[in-house]
Amino acid sequence: MVQIYFQRSRRLLHYFHPLAETDSPDEEIRFSWPKRILQTTEPRWEKKLGRQVKSFNDEKWSHIREKAVEEGNWTKFTTPNNRNMKQILLDTGDRELCEASSKDRIWGIGYKEKDARPMVIARKKEKWGSNLLGKALMRVREWSREGVARQFASGLGNETWNEART
């Protein structure tokens, strides 16, 4: 098993991005991608690499990205050296967690915090974006409460992918 530590959540997503390619003949991108992502030092280069994917399958990516963020956040909040972060997450109780970003309707709610609060009061949250990051954090919080060691079976570490990572 290969362990890789990501300094940024976005980098983790870029690392798994080629799994969302359709079955194209361009295996070069699929297998060289992880090493290239790990060699970059700036997010803008990761984004540039992302533009090279031509046969992208959004439905496939939707499943992969959510699992990757769940696994990444599980690791982030449950490693022994991050106990304080885990406690902060648990201290949120049962509150809904949101990424208040006006520029992101996928990972966030699509609104700044000051604009989102009145919507909560008026019960108009249906206008929010998907809030995938907030939902992933709430799942991690629930799993942490359960106190069970978590083994992921998302398929992100399939045989082909393991070969590409080594």
Percent of the chain past pLDDT 90, that is, above it, reads 26
3-state secondary structure of 78: helix
Tell me the mean pLDDT in the region 13-33: 66
Q: What is the pTM of this model?
A: 0.74
pLDDT for the residue 65: 87
DSSP assignments along 25-40, one per residue: S-HHHHHHHHHHHHH-
Residue 101 CB neighbour total at 10 angstroms: 19
